[in-house]
Chains A and B, each alone.
Chain A
C-alpha cells in the first residue's frame, strides 16, 4: 500500500530498537566512511593551499574581469547559503506543520544546514581581498568613530547570516541534548564520559521535558520567519541595485524557493548514500524520499515559474538593458551556463511528477546531482551575466574563472564534507527522541487511554 503523509513511518519498531539502531551508527565506521572522509580532507587541503596563495598574491589570481568583480566566490557563497535552507525548513517549518516524515531526516539536514552556512560564511571573507581586516564588517567602536552603513544590503547580510548560523546551530544543539543522553546511557569508558559532559545533566525528567518542549516549539516559531528572511536578504544584495537582471521584486521569493530546492537536492545527495553506509535503511525509507521528492517538485515548479516570469518581465519592461541581459543569458557567449540552469532546475525537477521516479533512489540521486549543478549555475548566471553585461557595451567583459576560483570551490566541498562526516560519526544522525515520540509505547489495556 502507498504510504501517505499520515501513515506511521516506523510501524514495526520499538523504542529499544530505535536506540539500538541509532547507537550502532556510532560504532566503528566502515572503509567507505574513511575513504569519503579522507577525500573530503584532501579537497579541503586543495582549498586551503589556494587560499594561502590568495593571501600571498591577492585576488588577482582569481578570474575577475572588469566590470564583473563578483564571480565564483559570491556564486559559491549564495550556493552554500541556499543549501543551508532545507535544514531549517524541515526541522522548524515542518515541525510546526506536524509533518511526521520529517523526524527521520531532520537531524542530518539540520547538521547540513549548520555546516553549509559555516562554509558560506568563509566566502565573503575570501572575497573581500584583505581577509585580515574582515572584522571591519562588524559594528565595533574604533578610533575614528566610524560605523557600518546600515542602509547597505551587504551589512543586512552580515547580520542575517550570522543570526542564521547562530540560531540554526542552537536549534541543532538543543535537539541533540536528549539524544546525546540516550547515547551516553549505552556507552562505556571514555565515550560515556564524553557524552555525559555533552548531555549537560539531561535525564528526561518531566521538569526538563516541560520546559524543553515549549522552548523547542518557540525556537521553531522563531526559526520559521528567519529561514524565509535570510535568503530574501541575500537576494536583496542583488535586487537593491539597479543592475539589469537583478532589480526585480520577484527576487526574494525566487531566491527562497531556489534555496529550499537546492537544499533538498543536497539532502538527497547526502542521505541516500549515508543511510546505506550507516545501515539505517529501515529508518529512512521510501516514504521519506517520496515526501522529499514532492517538496523538490514543488520548489522546482516555483523556480520554473520564476524563470519564466524573469524572462517575461525582461521582455515586457521594454527596457533595452533588461531585454539585452536576458537575451544574452540564453543566446550570448555564456549560453551554456544559462541553459544548464534552466534544464537542471526547471525541467529535470518535472520528472518528479512520476511516482516511479520519486521512489527510485538511483534516479533520485542522479536528479539530486543535477539539482546541485543547476543551482550553482543559477547563481553563476545571475551574478556574472548581469555584471559582465551592464549598461555600456564598450565596458563589457566576459568572466574567465581560473584555478584560484576552482580551487576554492573544490575546497569548500571538502570543508563541508569533512564536518558533515565527522558529525555523522560522533552524533546521532537520526533524532532518537522524536522518532520515539511517534512510536506509541506498549499498553496493557489495548486501545484504552
Chain B
C-alpha cells in the first residue's frame, strides 16, 4: 500500500461550504488540492478554475489519423491489386469517403478514451485518502500540507463548514 501523504481531509454535505473551502484554500496558497465528488459539479469546477482538458488534442489527432488511415488503406489496397470494378477508376475517392469517415470516428473515439485514461493517470492519487461516501452524497477535499500546518488547515475547514475533518500522514 502506498504511503499516506501528509495532509487534511474534509468532508462536506453542503455544496456551498465546499466551494467556500476551495476558494479559501486557494487564496491561502494551497494549490495541489484533490476534490472528490459523486458527479461533475460546475460550482466546484469554477472554484478550482482549472484549464480546459487536453483530451481534445487526443480526439483531433486520433480523428485525423483515422481519416488518413481510411483513405490511405483503400487507395493503397486498390492500387496494390488494380482491378476495374463497375467502370469506376481504380482509386475512386467518393466511395472511399465512407471508409475515411468511419475510421475517423473509430480512431477519434478510441484515442479520446486513451486521452482520458492517460491524462487522468498523469496526476497520481496514490497516498491521498478517500472515503466511500465521496461516491455517494458527500464532497471530499484533501489538502496536502506539512505536518506543522495541519492544525491551521483543520481549523479553517471546520470554520468554513466541513462536517468531518481528519488528519493523515506521518
Among A393-449, those with CB < 8 Å from B are: 432-434, 436-437, 440-445, 448-449
Q: Which residues of A contact B4 (CB under 8 A)?
A: none
Number of A residues contacting the other chain (C-beta, 8 Å)? 65
Q: How far is the CA of A150 from the CA of B96 in the complex (A)?
A: 7
With a 10 A CB-CB cut-off, give which of A201, A205, A443, A444 has the most chain B CB atoms: A205
Contact A222:B105 (CB < 8 A) given known A205-B34, A206-B50: yes
Closest to A436 in B: B39
A interface residues with partner B (beta carbon < 8 Å): 14-16, 19, 139, 145-152, 155-156, 159-160, 163, 166-167, 170-171, 174, 178, 181-182, 184-186, 200-201, 203-215, 218-219, 222-223, 225-226, 229, 233, 432-434, 436-437, 440-445, 448-449
Q: How far is the CA of A184 from the CA of B128 in the complex (A)?
A: 18
Q: How far is the CA of A432 from the CA of B86 in the complex (A)?
A: 52
Q: Which of A145, A159, A166, A213 contacts B110 (CB 8 A)?
A: A166
B interface residues with partner A (beta carbon < 8 Å): 13-17, 33-41, 43-45, 48, 50, 52-53, 55-56, 59, 63, 73-74, 77-78, 80-81, 83, 85-86, 88, 92, 95-96, 98-99, 101-103, 105-106, 108-110, 112-113, 115-117, 119-120, 123, 125, 128, 130, 132-137, 139, 161
Would B55 and A443 count as touching, CB distance under 8 A?
A: no
Q: Which of B13, B78, B88, B132 contacts A186 (CB 8 A)?
A: B132
Q: Which of B44, B48, B115 contacts A215 (CB 8 A)?
A: B115
Q: How far is the CA of A93 from the CA of B51 in the complex (A)?
A: 26
Report the minimal beta-carbon distance from B133 to chain A, rounded to whole angstroms.
8
Contact A436:B81 (CB < 8 A) given known A151-B88, A215-B113, A222-B105: no
Q: Which residues of A contact B113 (CB under 8 A)?
A: 170, 174, 215, 219
Report the minimal beta-carbon distance from A435 to chain B, rounded to whole angstroms.
8
Would A442 and B14 count as touching, CB distance under 8 A?
A: yes
For the residues of A in contact with B, the DSSP-based class is helix
Would A215 and B116 count as touching, CB distance under 8 A?
A: yes
Contact A436:B116 (CB < 8 A) given known A151-B86, A206-B48, A222-B109: no
Q: How far is the CA of A147 from the CA of B99 in the complex (A)?
A: 14
Would B14 and A441 count as touching, CB distance under 8 A?
A: yes
